[in-house]
Amino acid sequence: MQDAQQRQRSAERFGLALPITMEGEECSSHDISATGVLLESSAAPPLGAQVSLMLQYRTEGRDFSLDCVGEVVRVERHGDNYNIAVRLAEPLFQDLVPQEGGTG
């Protein structure tokens, strides 16, 4: 199963614990890539749901937020919460996603 998931991924994932909101609810990310995010939440949206996300981060002493939309592709129970995988509708960083017929 894990090998199949790895093959489905189109961009490298980075383990980052960033504050994130999903549909206005505060969550936290476990990892993020240009094409998706794995987050932890106390509520579980249905598979296939379209969700709005706001990623919050700090760089060079400044706070930033990034709004995006994605589809819930996996929901798993994790203790009292849920791990939720969201495939983004548009890549966060276009230059990091391999293009068809190219090497990246």
CATH class in words for 2-91: mainly beta
Distance of CA 33 to the CA centre of its chain: 7
The dihedral through the CA atoms of 19, 23, 65, 103 has a sign that is positive
Q: Output the CA–CA distances (angstroms, integers) from residue 84 to 39, 51, 58, 61, 95, in the order listed.
A: 5, 11, 23, 30, 25
Three-class SS of residue 7? helix
CA atoms of 64 and 83, how far apart (whole Å):
24
Higher-pLDDT residue of 16, 5: 16
Number of residues in the chain: 104
Q: Coil, strand, or helix at residue 70?
A: strand
**Contact assessment for residue 60 and residue 35, using Cβ atoms and an 8 Å cutoff:** no
> Any idea which of 4-13, 72-81, 87-96 has the lowest mean pLDDT?
4-13
Beta bridge partners of 62: 59
**Domain range annotation of the chain:** 2-91
Mean pLDDT computed over every residue of the chain: 81
pLDDT confidence bin for 11, thresholds 50/70/90: low
Q: Is the pTM of this model over 0.85?
A: no
Taking residues 78-102, report their average pLDDT.
76
Pick from 5-9, 69-73, 82-86, 92-96: least confident: 5-9
